[in-house]
């Protein structure tokens, strides 16, 4: 299993500290991250593939410092954005999935097979030749996941991957996630989705305030939410 290590990580934007002195080792296969809006969840996961740099401290992925080895780390870490629209680069759904495979320089036959498998797996086959921009919000979310999973990265990070999905697709994504052998880190407000995960972290006020099995961390988060004024 892959390994991610945060050592004394602080992130400050315009003199406002968003994460403070985070020390963390992530080895488990399925890890969830929850917490209040604006708490620093996306900031934390973006550090794992160098989408942001720590203001101080280090983040390592499989022994590589992310700040100095960004390119190598990004080959190992697939990132699914919360706004799937950000990930669309090609004129058709099939080409969009194929695009991410280009840099792997696979033989054409294998590339086509992988694209077809991804289209089938995510129920997008009927839309293969359509413009991704014409897909529904949930279908775009499925496409964004497909385009990352097709690369088979050793770590997959997904920022709120189920927000726009109907129940059927949510169950489908959960099943796909359960079948993955890779390490998976999911930021979500969908607490039920985390049942059965190996570890959940709750982030609030710059720090990790709970870290453990889903039930105990969700209980902590629920009680925290109750303390906010309505």
Ligand X SMILES: Nc1ncnc2c1ncn2[C@@H]1O[C@H](COP(=O)(O)OP(=O)(O)OP(=O)(O)O)[C@@H](O)[C@H]1O
CB 108 within 8 A of CB 96: no
CB of 178 to ligand X, least distance (A): 24
Of 69, 62, 68, 80, residue with least CA distance to 26: 62
Residue 18 binds to ligand X (criterion: CB under 6 A):
yes
Chain length of the chain: 230
Q: Is 54 in the site for ligand X (CB under 6 A)?
A: no
DSSP notation for 133-170: GGS-HHHHHHHHHHHHHTT--SEEEEESTTTT--HHHH
Query: Do residues 167 and 161 touch, judged by C-beta distance below 8 A?
Result: no
Q: Of the listed pieces 39-47, 85-93, 174-182, 208-216, which binds ligand X according to CB under 6 A?
A: 39-47
Q: Which is nearer to ligand X, 33 or 118 (CB)?
A: 33
Task: Identify each DSSP E strand in 14-144 by its residue range.
Answer: 16-26, 30-35, 56-61, 64-65, 77-80
First to last CA, the chain: 42
Among 3, 8, 13, 180, binds ligand X (CB under 6 A): 13
Give the nearest distance from C-beta 53 to ligand X in angstroms. 11
Cβ partners under 8 Å of residue 80, min gap 6: 87, 144, 145, 148, 156, 157, 158, 159, 161
* Contact flag: residue 77 with ligand X (CB under 6 A): no
Nearer to ligand X, 22 or 98 (CB): 22
Which residue stretch of 31-39, 94-102, 109-117, 161-169 sits at the interface with ligand X (rule: CB under 6 A)?
31-39
Q: Does 185 bind ligand X (CB under 6 A)?
A: no
Out of 15, 37, 71, 179, the residue judged to bind ligand X by CB under 6 A: 37
Q: Are strands 64-65 and 77-80 parallel, antiparallel or unpaired?
A: unpaired
HSE toward the beta carbon, residue 63, CA cutoff 13 A:
1
Please pick, from the candidates 6, 9, 31, 42, the single residue that binds ligand X as defined by CB under 6 A: 42
Can residue 38 be called a binding residue for ligand X (CB under 6 A)? yes
- Shortest approach of ligand X to residue 120 CB, angstroms? 31
Q: Give the residue, chosen from 4, 31, 32, 39, that forms a contact with ligand X under the rule CB under 6 A.
A: 39
* Nearest distance from C-beta of residue 12 to ligand X, angstroms: 9
Closest CB to ligand X among residues 47, 173: 47
The H or E element containing residue 195 is none
Q: In the bound complex, what is the minimum distance in angstroms from residue 133's beta carbon to ligand X?
A: 23
**Binding residues for ligand X, per CB under 6 A?**
13, 18, 35, 37-43
């Amino acid at each position: 299993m892959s390994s991610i290590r945060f050592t004394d990580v602080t992130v400050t934007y315009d003199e406002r500290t968003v994460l403070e002195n985070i020390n963390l080792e992530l080895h488990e296969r399925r890890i969830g991250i929850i917490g209040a809006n604006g708490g620093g969840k996306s900031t934390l996961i973006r550090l794992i593939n160098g989408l942001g740099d720590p203001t101080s401290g280090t983040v390592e992925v499989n022994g590589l410092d992310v700040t100095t080895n960004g390119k190598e780390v990004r080959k190992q870490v697939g990132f699914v954005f919360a706004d799937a629209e950000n990930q669309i680069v090609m004129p058709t759904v099939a080409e969009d999935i194929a695009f991410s495979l280009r840099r792997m320089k696979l033989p054409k036959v294998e590339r086509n097979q992988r694209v077809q498998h991804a289209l089938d797996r995510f129920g997008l086959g009927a839309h293969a030749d359509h413009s991704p921009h014409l897909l529904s919000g949930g279908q775009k979310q499925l496409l964004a996941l497909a385009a990352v999973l097709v690369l088979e990265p050793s770590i997959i990070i997904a920022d709120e991957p189920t927000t726009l999905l109907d129940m059927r697709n949510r169950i489908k994504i959960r099943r796909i996630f359960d079948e993955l052998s890779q390490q998976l880190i999911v930021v979500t407000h969908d607490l039920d989705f985390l049942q059965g995960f190996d570890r959940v972290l709750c982030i609030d006020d710059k720090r990790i305030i709970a870290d453990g099995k889903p039930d105990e961390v969700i209980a902590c988060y629920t009680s925290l939410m109750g303390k906010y004024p309505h």
